[in-house]
Amino acid sequence: MKILHIATAIAVAALITGCCACKKYQKKYGKPLETTEWTLIQVEGKSFDAGDKYQVVFGKDNRISGVGDCNRLMGSYTADDNGKMKISQIASTRMMCPDQAMENKFFDILQQIDTYQLDGKMLLLLRDGELLAVFEAK
């Protein structure tokens, strides 16, 4: 677990510096932000096994869609090549889920982020430099 935290911190630091080798690696092995299905694997520094839940897809039309614990989500987003991102207008279906508290936290985190980083098949979502969530491409 501690190794995952260290590896994540190193990856974020490397991406923030914008090194040339990192950009080449991302271009060759990485997944694009848009149209990739991203599954949540870490929340606020803790590993998370989402199974087939907690997924998002960023569309080319600046729309975000996905699923939480049991509810479908949709909303809008903006993202630029410098890593700035804003997700807004999140709406969802309204079924009561087995883990409603986690689903609420998931939706809340999505609306808080201000920065994203891509690292190979990983998507890191941050707020004020703090890593809030890590997603893996499927």
Mean predicted confidence (pLDDT) in 24-53: 88
Q: Is the dihedral of CA 23, 27, 29, 34 positive or negative?
A: positive
Please report the pLDDT score of residue 11 as a whole number. 54
> Class of the 2-137 domain?
mainly beta
The conformational region for residue 27 under phi > 0 = left, psi -120 to 50 = alpha, else beta, is alpha
The CA distance from 28 to 20, in Å, is: 12
The CA distance from 76 to 65, in Å, is: 9
For residue 119, the one-letter residue type is D
Where along the chain do its domains lie? 2-137
For residue 95, the one-letter residue type is M
pLDDT digits (tens, 9 = 90+) for 71-89: 999 999 999 999 999 999 9
